[in-house]
Structure 1
Amino acid sequence: MLRRLALTAVVSLAALSALAPAASASAGPLPLPLPLSLPVLQGDDAQTTQLTVVVSGSGDRAADGRYELECDPAGGSHPVAKQACERLAQLPGESADPFAPVPADAMCTQQFGGSATARVTGRWHGRSIDAAFDRTNGCEIARWNSLRPVLPNVR
């Protein structure tokens, strides 16, 4: 049985390999990709934190809006930039990735924490971030709360 499976795999691979050059030859040569110049992060740039935080639907006009947050030194338009940067500095020592989405198979309490939503984009410790947050269940509420004061304290 194992030999038959292996033989079938080898024959299939050989057949596909024979067809691939013929198919690409009729289409002509593929264009070469253009080289892209990518910035190389070195030294302090590799640990840069620059985030854009957009909050809406919180029910608090002071909390809703678009904020820029820069760390080392703390700055930008974020209302509590220093405290937000201090919280972000603590996160690498914690076990969970605060920007990772809640796993699809997570068991979460069915409580509604309000209609607030947030989107965080940019760079955190040199890593690209694009994360969405809401308060639709217990897992999402806990995820939001773990990023306070980067995200506002809403109820």
Structure 2
Amino acid sequence: MPLRRLALSTALATALAAGLAGTAAGAAPAVPLPPLPLLSPPDSLTVTVTGSGNPAAEGSWKLTCDDRPGGDHPAAARACARLEGFARAGEDPFAPVPADRMCAQVYGGPVTAQVTGVWQGRRIEARFTRSNGCEIDRWENVEPLLPSVRG
């Protein structure tokens, strides 16, 4: 069960138990009920990679990560597991490199990737490049969501 759904299910069970205990004693529920887990959209991303010079690493794929990995992404299970790890750690793999970060001036090639969709209930529109050391690290950090393009 994805971490988001497990957390919401646990919160719902706790709130219901507390609310029912308060209602049985004649009081209003003590804890407001959280939104139902089924109302949050499933993780669904589109990954588009261009400019790698390697036909096997280029294309556009769909990835869904809900009860089980789906879509036509070539490494769906591993990509969903990687994203689940970010969610558990409270990390945002789609955050851009901070503008004030010092980055090694190493060029990793003209390859770019665009990731759009929904992850952990929020809209994602992220662009990845390999234009410097920070961007290369950012790309490699989300592999296998993005393909390995190391030479």
TM-score by length of 1: 0.70
In 2, Cα distance between the equivalents of 1:76 and 1:95? Answer: 25
* Contact 1:45–1:126, Cα closer than 8 Å, also in 2: no
What's 2:75 paired with?
Answer: 80
What's 1:106 paired with?
Answer: 101
What's 2:49 paired with?
Answer: 55
3-state SS, counterpart of residue 52 of structure 2? coil
TM-score by length of 2: 0.71
- Residue 47 of structure 1 and its aligned partner are, at CA, apart by 5.9
- Aligned residue type for 2:148: N
What's 1:115 paired with?
Answer: 110
- Residue 116 of structure 1 and its aligned partner are, at CA, apart by 0.9
* Contact 2:87–2:120, Cα closer than 8 Å, also in 1: no
3-state SS, counterpart of residue 51 of structure 1? strand
Q: Which residues in structure 2 correspond to 1:2-151 (within 5 Å)?
A: 42-46=36-40, 48-72=42-66, 73-94=68-89, 96-151=91-146
In 2, Cα distance between the equivalents of 1:146 and 1:93? Answer: 15
- Residue 46 of structure 1 and its aligned partner are, at CA, apart by 2.0
What's 1:35 paired with?
Answer: none
- Residue 94 of structure 1 and its aligned partner are, at CA, apart by 3.4
Q: CA RMSD in A?
A: 1.5
The runs of 5 or more residues in structure 1 that have no matched partner are 1-40
Write the deviation string for residues 83-112 of structure 1: whole angstroms up to 9, x where unpaired: 111111001233642101111111001101
3-state SS, counterpart of residue 126 of structure 2? strand
What's 1:22 paired with?
Answer: none
CA radius of gyration, larger in = 1
* Contact 1:52–1:69, Cα closer than 8 Å, also in 2: yes
In 2, Cα distance between the equivalents of 1:70 and 1:95? Answer: 20
The runs of 5 or more residues in structure 2 that have no matched partner are 1-34
- Aligned residue type for 2:37: G
